[in-house]
């Protein structure tokens, strides 16, 4: 029994159509994620800056520029002060939003490139 003529081409065309649909769904997902992370970036950065100011981290950090010799003398204590005044929660939130933004751009450009190359 012989397979119908053109069956292979129909199967390959169906596979390519499903792959294209999957890439289009991924583009929609990563576009939404990119937009959401862009909207989350500004509140996260404002929260981080506010927490950095309230904790005194920026004041301690400015000592490295204004009184470097004292900082080098007491560098271990100074490092501990910097670590204790670092707002870890807002920093983690900011870095998560930033990582999501960058990963979305990476995945989106890869998928758009795939769509463009499939039409060429």
Q: Residue 120: its pLDDT value, please? A: 62
- Contact between 42 and 88 under an 8 Å Cβ cutoff? The reply is no
Per-residue pLDDT reduced to its tens digit, 58-97: 898 898 899 899 999 999 999 999 999 999 999 999 999 9
Return the structure tokens found at 120. Answer: 């060429």
What separation in angstroms does the CA of 84 have from each of 57, 66, 95? 9, 21, 18
Domain limits, the chain:
7-119
């Amino acid at each position: 029994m012989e397979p119908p003529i053109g069956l292979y081409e129909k199967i390959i065309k169906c596979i390519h159509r499903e792959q294209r649909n999957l890439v289009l769904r991924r583009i929609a997902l990563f576009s939404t994620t990119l937009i959401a992370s862009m909207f989350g970036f500004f509140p996260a950065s404002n929260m981080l800056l506010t927490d950095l100011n309230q904790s005194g981290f920026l004041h301690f950090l400015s000592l490295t520029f204004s009184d470097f010799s004292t900082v080098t003398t007491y560098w271990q204590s100074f490092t501990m002060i910097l670590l204790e005044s670092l707002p870890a929660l807002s920093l983690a939130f900011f870095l998560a939003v930033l990582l999501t933004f960058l990963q979305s751009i990476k995945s989106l450009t890869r998928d758009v490139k795939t769509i463009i190359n499939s039409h060429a």
